[in-house]
Amino acid sequence: MAVMRIGHISVRVMDMEAALKHYTNVLGMRVTHTDADGNQYLKCWDEWDKYSVVLTPSDRAGMNHVAYKVEKDAELDVLKQKIKDYGFAVAELPAGTLPACGRMLQFTLPSGHEMRLFAEKECVGTDVGSIDPDPWPDSIKGAGAHWLDHCLLMCRFDPEKGVNTVVDNTKFLKEVLNFFQTEQVMVGPNGSIQLASFLSLSSKPHDLALVGAPTSGLHHLSFFLDSWHDILKAGDIMAKNRVRIDVAPTRHGLTRGETIYFFDPSGNRNETFAGLGYQAQRDRPVTTWTEENLGRSIFYHTRELTESFINVYT
């Protein structure tokens, strides 16, 4: 399996100073590189590659691109051909296009999101190192996020006009990039329309999530925490830092994850979530959520979707 995991996400922020304060003090990331254009590169303490979040100065929020890492550089050639054969345009960006990062394949998902694939990025090691490591470093800040875990992309969805880029993205990601589906939300007549699709590359319930919406965008980028207790602590940290919280601690039906949603100062939604949930596997029966359980699939406790959660994204 060539594609391994989310490698990094590049997001736009409108106030870099506030953004850096947020991603370092609240999430606990640290800056590992700053480039000449003022882009900031950050990593979590439990990540070994040089960065997983790129913050770029802009006048509006949102995602520039999301990049997934493949195991070996040679696999990029195979994947490039497979993407072409699937009928998508694909460019190759040379090594160094992003600092400390090897060549990248660049293409556009049916939903309009830019996706990239790369195989090489400078390995700087986790903050506990690889020799006789402690389970966590002394220097943990804020919520102490372990790693960027996944993102949720809002995908253009207008079933009356025959538009459903959730389905289109899913098909491509499964057939070409070897993702497998773990869960889906089916709505409409006889539950025939796929409104949401959760995809994995690993034994985690999702490495990428897709949800249908009037326009495409970034719903959230999500960071892994170890436990429900760390979710409480994360909420406390957010409160101390006066972070705008969207949804207080609760559990998802989808993935069983324990979660808090909140916003960075530019309005990009973040999630901290905890719990393995279940062991995702390619032979595990796909979980299907029905329309009448839509609220419960997202917010398992209250079983009600909130306006902001559906309509606010970047």
Minimum CB separation from its own copies for residue 189, in Å?
Answer: 17
Among 74, 77, 240, 308, interactor with its own copies by CB under 8 A: 240
Q: Which of 62, 99, 159, 249 binds its own copies (CB under 8 A)?
A: 249
CB 224 within 8 A of CB 271: no
Binding pattern to its own copies, positions 4-43, x when CB under 8 A?
A: xx--------------------------------------
Residue 146 to residue 8: CA distance in whole angstroms: 14
Q: Catalytic residue positions?
A: 150, 206, 220, 252, 261, 271
How far is 205 from 182, CA to CA, in rounded Å? 6
Binding residue (CB under 8 A) for its own copies from 24, 31, 46, 305: 46
Task: Specify the residue for token string 């990331």.
Answer: 29
Residues in the chain: 314
Residue of 51, 260, 268, 269 interacting with its own copies (CB under 8 A): 260
> Could you tell me which of 152, 148, 108 has the C-alpha nearest to residue 313?
152
Binding window for its own copies (CB under 8 A); candidates: 8-16, 79-87, 106-114, 132-140: 132-140
Q: Is 123 in the site for its own copies (CB under 8 A)?
A: yes
Residue closer to its own copies by CB (options 33, 141) is 141
Only one of the segments 13-21, 45-53, 93-101, 105-113 lies at the binding site for its own copies (rule: CB under 8 A); that segment is 45-53
* Stretch of 87-95, 159-167, 169-177, 294-302 contacting its own copies, by CB under 8 A: 294-302
Pairing mode, if any, of strands 269-274 and 258-263?
Answer: antiparallel
First to last CA, the chain: 31
Q: Which residues pair with 273 in a beta bridge?
A: 224, 259
Distance between CA atoms of 253 and 196, rounded to whole angstroms?
13
* Tokens 């972070």 found at: 243
Size of the site for its own copies (CB under 8 A): 69
Rule CB under 8 A: say whether 251 interacts with its own copies: yes
Using DSSP's 3-state secondary structure scheme, residue 54 falls into strand
The reply on whether position 289 binds its own copies by CB under 8 A is yes
Site string for its own copies, 164-193 (x = CB under 8 A): ------------------------------
Touching its own copies, residues 148-167 (CB under 8 A): 149
Q: How many CB atoms lie within 10 A of CB 123?
A: 11
- The CA distances from residue 223 to 8, 15, 47, 148, 183, in Å, are 12, 21, 11, 5, 20
| Conformational region of residue 179, where left means phi above 0, alpha means psi within -120 to 50, and beta covers everything else | beta
Could you tell me if 192 and 159 are in contact, meaning their C-beta atoms sit under 8 angstroms apart?
no
Interface ranges with its own copies (CB under 8 A): 1, 4-5, 46, 48-49, 69, 71, 123, 125-126, 130-136, 138, 146-147, 149, 202-204, 224, 226-229, 232, 235-236, 238-240, 242, 245, 247-251, 253, 256, 258, 260, 275-276, 278-279, 281-290, 293, 296-297, 299-303
